Amino acid sequence: MMEKRRFDIRSQAMHNDEKTMVNGRVKTALLFLAFAGLGTALSLLLFKLDRGTGFKTDQTESSAVFSARPVRIICGTPGLTEIVFSLGCGDRVVGVSRFSTYPPEVEGKARIGGLIDPSREKILSLKPDLYLSQGRQGTMADFCRKYGIPFFPLTLENLSDLFAAIRSIGGLLNARTEAEALCLQISKELAAVRDRIGGRSPRTVFLSLGHTPGELTGIMTMGEGTFLHELLELAGGRNIFSEVGASYPQISKEVLISRQPRIIIEIGGLPVGKIDLLRQDWQKLSILEAVAEDRIYFLTEDFLLIPGVRVGQTADRLARVIHPEAYIE
């Protein structure tokens, strides 16, 4: 969808560091960090999604067979909830993830649990005629098939997936015109950020998806092929871990030091009362240029981690930190 800049590091010493950095492929994507102040214990709730675009049409993956337009929809994740409401179909939503907070109209909707712990009893009680899910959820797919609930899994790993998902859902809900309008709106928002950054040289960034407060352990980030990587680079940053070969790797302090990012960003749903503690953690790594020169930023909005209709706002938020001079009128 968008052209990606690759930060190519080819020295043998760095290659050796790579071996100690990536502790296996992380099977969970840190796309929700402490929603609504619930704490960092929620940071591993969303499984890493299978790569791909759009939805699966194989009946082993999807049981979405319709005899009429769906009018009782369950949205399994916040990103899917955002899409359905933005298409003007929120009145057809009967159930949402416990983490869905946007738009405000979602407040009165029934909660079915999270992506990995949905309440089957609640789902059955809502009598849905469409269950929208994110990623391959084999157990839930089997459950829906058993009870005759049309099950429709979508991928929301990167921006291309997001646009494909919007169009797929638009087709399912007879809202194709609205889907194209929404895709155009998001594209314009992303283009506005890209245009504002202009030809500025990218700045090296480490984007942290969380670490254990009180100590710099369990540091997570994202690699190439994720929507956060794409938004970071669109916003004028250069992801220092773009080429690690894993979507959401865990990294060591030693390798982070070897990469020397110009900017450090902790992102998404951070507990406000813990920010001072998190900042103190980073002070232990004063050897980092970003720490020594006080270029550590904490972005607390939970929507920053959601692959949904507000990705333009996420790109803008990142750009304001990476290139603040671009926003001086």
Give per-residue pLDDT as tens, 302-313.
899 999 999 999
| Domains in the chain with CATH codes | 12-48+200-327 (3.40.50.1980), 73-190 (3.40.50.1980)
pLDDT greater than 70 at residue 70: yes
DSSP structure class, residue 284: T
pLDDT greater than 50 at residue 323: yes
Sign of the alpha-carbon torsion through 291, 292, 295, 297: positive
Max mean pLDDT range (4-8, 148-152, 271-275): 148-152
Residue 82's nearest CA partner among 302, 304, 306 is 306
Q: Give the pLDDT band (50/70/90) at residue 152.
A: very high
Question: Which three-class secondary structure state does DSSP give residue 297?
Answer: strand
pLDDT in tens, 185-225: 999 999 999 999 998 999 999 999 987 777 788 889 999 99
Q: Could you give the percent of the chain with pLDDT greater than 90? A: 65
Helix axes 159-172, 227-234, angle to 10 degrees: 120
pLDDT greater than 50 at residue 37: no
